[in-house]
Structure 1
């Protein structure tokens, strides 16, 4: 880790790969959640890349009982 790297738990948004590791959910499942929730406030599109907003997704994740 370089001195300029931000730890994953301090990042505002995560790539699908980072979010998959952080939340222990598969990347395909995360993509499916984005597709099923097109108006959700817990992700943003950076071009064609999905960025998961960590704190809003944590709140969303807390409301789920099954994924």
Structure 2
């Protein structure tokens, strides 16, 4: 790990691939959730790349029983 690399648990936003590993949710399901909730505050579009705000998504996950 380089000195410039930020650990995944300290990042503000995560890519779909990183979020999939972090939250242990499949990439297809995360992409579908992001697509269905584009106007929500936990999804950021960086060009055509989806970014997930980690802390806000954690709060959403905490309220769910089933994904």
Q: TM-score range by the shorter chain?
A: over 0.9
Q: Give the aligned partner of residue 50 of structure 2.
A: 50
Task: Report the TM-score, using the length of structure 1 for normalisation.
Answer: 0.95
Moved beyond 2 Å, runs of 4+: none
Aligned Cα root-mean-square deviation (Å): 0.7
Residue ranges of structure 1 left out of the alignment (5+ in a row): none
CA shift for structure 1 position 17: 0.6
CA shift for structure 1 position 38: 2.5
Question: Number of paired residues?
Answer: 67
Task: Report the TM-score, using the length of structure 2 for normalisation.
Answer: 0.95
Residue ranges of structure 2 left out of the alignment (5+ in a row): none
